[in-house]
């Protein structure tokens, strides 16, 4: 079996972001100084949109509340509303950007369900295109992402500014 080494994933596994800080990747300061580097595309009052640094496909976004919680039932009505509003906005931005044929939208609760970050709930918005599952993930368990994250983030951030 061939191996594809991805040492940059250790930052994620060890709970460190790019600046070496420990902690939850979804817990943000009020300051927007690091939004570009942290791949934050849009901030609402109670939730925000961030790019997935380890995407399932190009344009994979996540919507998370500012409040650190793993329990959906603990969200208040305003937080739930904003998460769904930003999910729809993220979908609209992705449609404008890449004209996907469909979307996967949802949350993974618990490690067995695929959650990489279990203690801060977040919703995935994953654009899908006909034929986007080719031989690489099937035979080699490798995903091919055609555009660098920072390039995609720059384009999507501008579309968020235009559409919101």
- Condensed to tens digits (0 to 9), the pLDDT of residues 54-111 reads 888 899 999 999 999 999 999 999 999 999 999 999 999 999 999 999 999 999 888 8
CATH number at residue 101: 3.30.428.10
Of the candidates 110, 141, 105, 144, which has an alpha carbon nearest to the alpha carbon of residue 125? 105
**Is residue 11 one of the residues assigned to a domain?**
no
**Is residue 25 one of the residues assigned to a domain?**
no
Residue 117 annotated as part of some ligand binding site: yes
**Is residue 156 one of the residues assigned to a domain?**
yes
Alpha carbons 42 and 63: distance in angstroms, whole number: 9
Is 55 or 143 the better-scoring residue by pLDDT?
Answer: 55
Residue 115 annotated as part of some ligand binding site: yes
Q: How many domains is the chain partitioned into structurally?
A: 1
CB atoms near residue 126 (< 10 Å): 21
pLDDT value at residue 62 = 98
Residue 52 annotated as part of some ligand binding site: yes
pTM, two decimal places: 0.79
Is 96 or 8 the better-scoring residue by pLDDT?
Answer: 96
**Is residue 16 one of the residues assigned to a domain?**
no
**Is residue 67 one of the residues assigned to a domain?**
yes
Alpha carbons 94 and 133: distance in angstroms, whole number: 18
Strands 123-128 and 102-106 come out as antiparallel
**Is residue 121 one of the residues assigned to a domain?**
yes
CB atoms near residue 157 (< 10 Å): 18
Residue 102 annotated as part of some ligand binding site: no
**Owning domain of residue 154:** 38-163
**Is residue 84 one of the residues assigned to a domain?**
yes
Residue 59 annotated as part of some ligand binding site: no
**Is residue 29 one of the residues assigned to a domain?**
no
Q: Give Cα 54 distance to the centre of its chain.
A: 8
Q: Which are the catalytic amino acids?
A: 122
């Amino acid at each position: 079996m061939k191996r594809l080494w991805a040492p940059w994933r250790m930052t994620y596994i060890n709970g460190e972001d790019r600046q070496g800080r420990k902690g939850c990747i979804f817990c943000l300061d009020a300051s927007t100084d690091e939004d570009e580097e942290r791949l934050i595309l849009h901030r609402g009052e109670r939730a925000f949109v961030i790019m997935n640094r380890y995407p399932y496909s190009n344009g994979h976004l996540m919507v998370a509340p500012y409040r650190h919680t793993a329990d959906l039932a603990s969200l208040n009505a305003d937080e739930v509303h904003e998460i769904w509003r930003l999910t729809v906005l993220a979908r609209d931005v992705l449609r404008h950007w890449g004209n996907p044929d469909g979307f996967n939208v949802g949350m993974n609760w618990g490690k067995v369900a695929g959650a990489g970050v279990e203690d801060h709930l977040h919703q995935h918005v994953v654009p899908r295109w006909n034929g986007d599952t080719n031989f690489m993930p099937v035979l080699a368990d490798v995903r091919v992402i055609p555009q660098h994250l920072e390039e995609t983030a720059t384009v999507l951030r501008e579309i968020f500014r235009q559409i919101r």
